[in-house]
Structure 1
């Protein structure tokens, strides 16, 4: 075991997704340096999550316990990240009146514009900026709302595991924490691309998390999260499309997806290859259309700037040809990002670095 001099806090973080549960043990330094001691990935029991809430605490905790034993976790302090499907986020413009109680103004705005039970939800907000509209001073406020019962279902997991709950967080916050740091990416751009992209804003960018069941769109301006949307389509939909067309089992369809991706050979294309390509492209086209709608909504309804570049994360971002496809569709540079692309991350020797792309949310909540 490597021991680093800056270490002060040990944490375990747990990210429960629809397909996989990611468990990471980290040590966090005084300047938020992160040392990944160990990690494990388990399959999420089928039917254990519904609408973002944990419905079968026992089966989930049993899977987590197995992994914790396998990787020999000793830490008790724990953070957990929620599934993103039942997290509501909105941006509102609120009249800026000197001396007003902003929390009351936010709650009044939510009650008038969001069809939710205010008492049943945990509501958090962040002021993004002050601006003028028709001569009046306004505050642009980013609001998130989550059912308290869903938050409690995640706390129950930690208690059942005998861990000390430190926080329950959402994927968007994890992403925002990481992308406040310097990101080391391979530019790998031609002179033509650099010229074409040179006039785009570098202060506004998207981080797109390609997951199994969902695709999460985050937009940050000046490294501050200003937009978040969960698209209910993910890489598992590709597996299902291939399985339906080729009469294959899902695990075989997933294998074919990984082999072929969005790249067709120039010659001697078989009928099966063509079908696989069309299945993948059909799902990705649908996701890209919804991403584009998110960008438009952010610009027109959230007083945002045009997105100048895209970072892609998550297991689905490893799909062959996805980066080139997204660059062609959105005409902005696209950068795949792994944990080791992010400043201040170190990993214990001997760990499988190829699987780190699945861990950005689970590591990000430790900050």
Structure 2
């Protein structure tokens, strides 16, 4: 039997507080690695998506890339392979509201987001959240070749052998990667994503409180995967998507290293480090106030000027990041029988430090570029003051395949 999960929205009291309750629903073979257990029509069982294809609908969405320090928001639509972005917004995450992908202070986050949506005249009614967390488990495992209806049971048994976790606390999604024959026995190589139920519920609650219909919950490395395939696939002048290419999101608390090959996610790891390390250094040395640190970093730090005192200290921090990135790339190479990462694409806050791309190229011996622009997107907003490369994760989450 497949494990079934669903969420049913129930009114709780006269103040309109909301309560989420589990109910049986088929979430097998979730499309696009999106956790469609969070779809909106929760009073009905979802049709089996792997057997019934519903006609594509023209649906405008509001998508949130929720990080511990910053939140990126876009309003847009993906329809008939055309991506349109109406608005794109950044805001600071309320302090302590999100920790390692989990919402900890929901009321503060709701109040701030509600204010921002109102101020920017957001009209979309469908909501998407994308995030990442060290609590999200991503594993490739080999299982016996079985029929579709047996897949869930076999995967649950096998994953329990690898990980000492209570699977009742996770939403599982399985993607078949390949079929192999080992000792005359046919095996399936599958990717299993285990998404903590409590994190999923937190985002579901948030969207409902914002008066949005929860449409999908995405994971950043999957959003990037869709971005590569639908937006970035013609950028061979920068990198060849048929090769192993590392997309590195250099965030405030974490550095996400995601390696793609032939347009598919091949490997992913998170490093617990990021721009906050530099912020703390600058504040501790009384060089800048906390509220001015972002602008200061962009204006005053240059990794290609090694003799300035501040650059010396920042290079020490970035050297530690690069050492960890190098170990991940080496592990990937060893795991894949010498498969080389041919190029690196960096984005996110710390990628904007002057000279970061050249510095990483020098240190790693791998061509590193900073993603600066986007193609194949219709932007209706005339505001060009924001760096669009900050929105790769959230734009990718808008794409529904």
TM-score higher than 0.5 here? yes
Higher mean alpha-carbon deviation, 143-152 vs 81-90, is at 81-90
Cα distance in 1 between the residues matched to 2:148 and 2:121: 53
SS in 2 for 1:350: coil
Shift, 1:186, TM fit: 9.2
Deviating above 6 A after TM superposition, structure 1's stretches of 4 or more consecutive aligned residues are: 97-100
Match of 2:366 in 1: 332
Kept in 1, the 8 Å contact 2:305–2:311? The answer is no
Which of 50, 55, 74 lines up with 1:24 in the alignment? Answer: 74
Deviation, 1:201, is 9.3
Name the counterpart of 1:80: 129
How many Å separate the matches in 2 of 1:145 and 1:311?
Answer: 27
Q: Which moved more, 1:95-104 or 1:156-165?
A: 95-104
Q: Could you say if the C-alpha distance between residues 98 and 303 of structure 1 is closer, same or farther in structure 2, counting changes exceeding 3 Å?
A: farther
Q: Which residue of 2 aligns with 1:298?
A: 332
How far the C-alpha of 1:147 sits from its partner, in A, is 0.9
Superposed, 1:269-348 pairs within 5 Å as 269=307, 273-274=308-309, 276-301=310-335, 305-338=339-372, 340-342=373-375, 344-348=376-380
2:247 is aligned to 207
Moved more, 291-300 or 54-63: 291-300
| Distance change (3 Å), C-alpha of 1:133 and 1:58 | same
Shift of residue 183, structure 1, vs aligned partner: 4.4
User: Aligned to 2:222, what secondary structure does the other structure show?
Assistant: helix
Change (3 A) 1:364 1:100: closer
In the alignment of these two chains, the number of paired residues is: 343
Q: 1:138 to 1:329 in 2, by over 3 A?
A: farther
The question of whether the paired residues in 2 share the 8 Å contact of 1:94 and 1:106 is answered with yes
Is the Cα contact below 8 Å between 1:12 and 1:79 reproduced in 2? yes
Which sections of structure 1, spanning at least 5 residues, go unmatched? 1-6, 189-196
Greater Cα shift, 252-261 or 352-361: 252-261
The partner residue of 2:393 within 351, 361, 364 is 361
Partner of 1:109: 158
Deviation by residue 1:184-226 (Cα, 9 ceiling, x = unmatched): 65958xxxxxxxx9xx995211111111111111111111112
CA contact (8 A) 1:237 1:283 kept: yes
Determine which of 213, 230, 243 is the counterpart of 1:164. 213
The structure 2 residue matched to 1:14, chosen from 58, 64, 82, is 64
CA distance in 2, matches of 1:153, 1:245: 37
- Of 45, 61, 66, the match for 2:110: 61
Specify the alignment match of 2:295 in structure 1. 255
**For residues 144 and 50 of structure 1, what CA distance do their matches in structure 2 show?**
20
- SS of equivalent to 1:352: coil
Which deviates the most, 317-326 or 283-292? 283-292
**Corresponding position of 2:279:** 239
Secondary structure in structure 1 of the residue aligned to 2:398: coil
Aligned-partner Cα distance in 2 for 1:296–1:243 = 34
Deviation at 1:315, TM superposition (A): 2.4
How far apart are 1:120 and its partner, in Å? 0.6
Change over 3 Å in CA distance of 1:291–1:139 after alignment to 2: farther
Query: What secondary structure is seen at the aligned counterpart in 2 of 1:308?
Result: strand
The alignment's C-alpha RMSD in Å is 2.7
Q: Which shifted more, 122-131 or 231-240?
A: 122-131
CA distance in structure 1 between the aligned counterparts of 2:311 and 2:226, rounded to whole angstroms:
36
Per mean C-alpha deviation after superposition, the further-off stretch among 247-256 and 16-25 is 247-256
Q: Return the offset for 1:277.
A: 1.1
User: Is this contact kept in 2: 1:216–1:230, CA < 8 A?
Assistant: yes
1:76 offset after TM fit, Å?
0.5
Q: Counterparts of 2:59 and 2:145 in 1: how far apart (Å)?
A: 40
Measure how far apart 1:11 and its partner are: 0.8
SS of 1:207's partner is strand
More helix by share: 1
Which runs of 5 or more residues in structure 2 are unaligned?
A: 1-56
The answer to whether the Cα contact below 8 Å between 1:213 and 1:235 also exists between their aligned partners in 2 is yes
Q: Distance in 1 between matches of 2:98 and 2:158?
A: 31
| CA shift for structure 1 position 366 | 0.9
Contact 1:26–1:38 under 8 Å retained in 2: yes
User: 22-31 or 149-158, which moves further after superposition?
Assistant: 22-31
| 1:116 Cα deviation after fit | 1.5
- Determine if the alignment matches structure 1 residue 350 to structure 2 residue 382: yes
